[in-house]
Structure 1
Amino acid sequence: MEFRNIDEQIIQKYREDETLMIRLFVQWCSNNELDPHVLYKKAYPEQMVNVALQEVIESDDGFDDFHIDNETMLDVLQLFGNEDLAFVVADEIERQSRK
């Protein structure tokens, strides 16, 4: 029984961390005037709507004044194994730097 509780705690912690990662991504997109849905779709074209992404966007809990720098965003995405999304974000960073 104790192992089950620990497993549930680990799963819950991962979900909380994943939600934070999504919030940071949404905020980074907002900071850079990008649509998070569009970037996510570029990274994962085969996936349907990402429910967690949609929930974070709809919750809009006042993260607006928080600036996420490019390096941090890339590090967070890679930490969570979102290499495809990190690649798309890196492309956007490169594209914006040429402006």
Structure 2
Amino acid sequence: MSKIHSSAALQIGQRVRAVRHRLGISLEDLGELSEISWTSIGKIERGASSPTAETLVRIGSALGVDPGTFLSGITADDYGQRLHQLSARDLIKARAEQDEQHRRKS
């Protein structure tokens, strides 16, 4: 059994597999339709590989679904521990507060 890349990769892979199964096509068929090797798709479906945006677009197009459906609800936290937990909004707010403090001191 291969190692799981991340929770996000596993969720994406499960979504790809679910659509493929629903359509009743094989890994080989999806590989041919998406022009991605079926072994690579197998790794994605098992969560052992995290697909690129291009790969998701190719797979989504081949399956006839919006590639965004594979990513819906996935966050950066699903990829494992993050060094920075701030968002751009948090950074902007902190800078505004810092600027306000500097203005008060002046």
Question: Do both proteins adopt the same fold according to a TM-score greater than 0.5, normalized to the shorter chain?
Answer: no
> Which is higher, the Rg of structure 1 or of structure 2?
2
Structure with the larger helix share: 1
The normalised TM-score by structure 1 is 0.40
Q: TM-score, normalising length from structure 2?
A: 0.38
